[in-house]
Amino acid sequence: MSRPARLLVAAEYTLFRAAIKAALEGQGDIAVVAEAGTDRSAIAAAATVAPDLVLIDDALPPAGGLRACAAVKHAAPATRVFVLARGPDPANLVAAIEAGADGFADVELDLDTLLGGVRQVLAGEAYVPPRLLGPLLQGMLQRNRDSDRFLQLSMRLTRREREVLELLLDGCDHEAVAEILSISPQTARTHIQNIIAKFGAHSRLEAVSLAVEYRLTDRLRVLNAPAPERPRRNGQPRTVGKAPPTP
């Protein structure tokens, strides 16, 4: 490498950023060219400075580092991103990979091993500590299973319940739902209780969290769209779900 790789360090604590900078100084191949202490400033700095790699603490305030990770990758896919997590949690690792992270390590890792992982990612490889590779693969398989399971649960919703859920995801309470759908508040409440029960959740918040987690929002818009007209076999148009008109 002819010039040092340019690093943006995105972590909440000033002292942590200073310490990482000190660890890299004098090594010659990596230079910290910018720092950020919040997710918003990390995204802005990445756009301004165009670093080769962004080292992101996943606890970056206020919304967490994975949000910054996804935003940086979306804006500049060639930028390498390395996520540093507080613990070796496989679910967190899967989330980081889904957010586009090229490298992942937890803070229990030896510092020199971490820097080696950063260099690997700079060289175009992915990095996951070997002891996390098994949990990562298990985590991704589990994620697929959970996603399928949730899809099955959500297929149990009636059309009306899907409409109510879409409104809940927009932040409506049961009274707003009742007004928008022209139903009584009690009916709206009943629909909400049914949604919670069908999801096996214990609260409205958990039901909504599940829907957000498994990206039901986008699917709902498609499912809740008005049914299209389909031609009959004999060439006459027919609306799906209704009885054919009497001749």
Partner 1 sequence: MVHCDVLVVNGNAVFGAALCRLLGRQGHPAVHAAAERADAEAARCAPRLLLLDADPDPVDVALTAAVVRRAARGIATLLLIGDAADPPLALEREVGALGCVSRHATGEVLDQAVRRALRGQRATPHGAAHRHATAAPEAGRGGRAPLAGLTERELLVLRAMMGGLRSEGIGEHLGISRHTVRTHVQSILGKLSVHTRLEAGMVGLQAGLSPLVRPRPAALSGS
127 or 199: CB nearest partner 1:
199
Starting at the edge strand found earlier in the chain, the sheet holding 30-36 runs 30-36, 5-10, 53-57, 80-85, 103-106
CB 48 within 8 A of CB 76: no
Per CB under 8 A, the list member of 32, 39, 97, 162 interacting with partner 1 is 39
Per CB under 8 A, the list member of 6, 33, 64, 223 interacting with partner 1 is 64
Q: Residues touching partner 1: how many (CB under 8 A)?
A: 56
The answer to whether 203 contacts partner 1 (rule: CB under 8 A) is yes
Per CB under 8 A, the list member of 1, 47, 75, 91 interacting with partner 1 is 91
67 or 80: CB nearest partner 1:
67
Distance CA 200, CA 107 (A): 35
> Footprint of partner 1 on residues 166-185 (CB under 8 A)?
171
Q: What would the x/- binding string for partner 1 be over residues 103 to 142, using CB under 8 A? A: --x-xxxxx--x----------------------------
Distance CA 57, CA 43 (A): 13
Interface region with partner 1, contact rule CB under 8 A, candidates 100-108, 181-189, 218-226, 231-239: 100-108
What's the min distance (Å) between Cβ of 56 and partner 1? 13
What's the min distance (Å) between Cβ of 192 and partner 1? 11
Interface region with partner 1, contact rule CB under 8 A, candidates 75-83, 121-129, 212-220, 221-229: 212-220
Give residues in contact with partner 1 (CB under 8 A).
Answer: 12-16, 18-23, 25, 35-41, 61-64, 66-67, 84, 86, 91, 95, 105, 107-111, 114, 146, 149-150, 152-153, 171, 199-206, 208-210, 212-214
